Structure 1
Amino acid sequence: RAMGDRSRVSSHTADKAQGIPLWSALKARSWDVVQVKLLDLAATVAISTAVAALVSAALLVLSFSIVACFRLMVVPRGPSSANQELVFDFTAAVPTARASFLSPKAARALALPAHTGDITDKALQRSRLLDPGQRFGVGVTLVLPETPANQEVGMFQVYAELSTARGDVLANTTRPALLRYASAEVRWLRLLVRWPLYALGLAEEKQTV
């Protein structure tokens, strides 16, 4: 019976609080109405906070998904740098080496025409490795044996040319190079220090230019 009375009192208080503003209840010192109002306000704030947290979590997941999709579709997934070994053709009047930056699939597609001049602009665009305006750098490193012949050559000129598969030259540059000079005394001293490595094949008499 006591529980029933309390339930009826709570229901009556809630019904009574529906039409009374909180400020009026405070002025009238209706503490039971104030308690109901504060509980309703706390419940509303809790629900709003929970909804805001759920919306924020959903937006966060959505933003991460958009960034991941954008990265997979737009940002190149290939390596940021690549190295190729140059094999020089010494049968020509001037030793020449070629390196291709195309993928094997693009190289096969561009090799279909009988002549390189028959390659169309669309074919070149489809096989493009870099986007227009994207910056890149190309470097050449020469490993030269310290032979008497190379020492006697002295300074020589290295010419590099960047061209399309059709043969259109995009850029070219030339730089002088030479083996670093070492006197006979320095070479003998170096040989005395490193001869075990040379004998075991762990080191070679060469320079990187």
Structure 2
Amino acid sequence: MNGERSGPFGPAVAVLVVALVAAAVVGAWPPLVAVESGSMAPQVERGDLVVVTATDRFPWDGVTGHAAPDAPTRLGGTGDVVAFDPPGDGLGPILHRVAFPVSAGDDWTDRADPALLEGDCADLDACPAPHDGYITYGDANGEYDQSAGIAPVVREEWIRAKAVIAVPELGWVRLAVDAAIARVGLVPTAVGFGGIAAATGGIGAVLLGRISASRRS
């Protein structure tokens, strides 16, 4: 170390490098999803940060619904939780649990849990299934997305990633960054948050130095 300050870009670059490494490991970008609603409560709350991975990344093998035999446990329930992005909704990815797969033309209400269904096939825009895909739901919503009109039958290609674990509260940082990028752009946001991180680190170093000095005196 030559004693020179790294400047506000140092922390920003470090964060970017960590994110790129994480993406390479899990095979998904972004590798972290900030939860914006309470639809997956109580296991995943608004403001939590969810680590995701590609659906075909070892040791995973595609997408498994909660109705499948020996379905895995994910985020407090059976069946995979996936981040998917229906085209044209403009609301960003939805993080919900997979119930079961369907094929084009299926009357999937025959396999549905009546407690998660409002009406029969004739009452639903997503039934019969217009294409192959998945029926999904939020744990806290009490109704399938395709029954409530939240999302159409989810095509395989709409699924960005599969959820692995949730870290409480850390998603607020990601949500703040996303909001700042949407408002002022990527570069000003990186400089601003980098400067905050650098200042926070500097203050912390000074405080630790003073504590250490007081202990020696």
Please confirm whether the aligned pair reaches a TM-score higher than 0.5, indicating the same fold: no
Q: Which has the higher contact order (CA 8 A, sep 6+)?
A: 2
Q: Compare CA radii of gyration and give the structure with the larger one.
A: 1
More helix, by proportion: 1
TM-score (norm 2): 0.21
TM-score (norm 1): 0.21
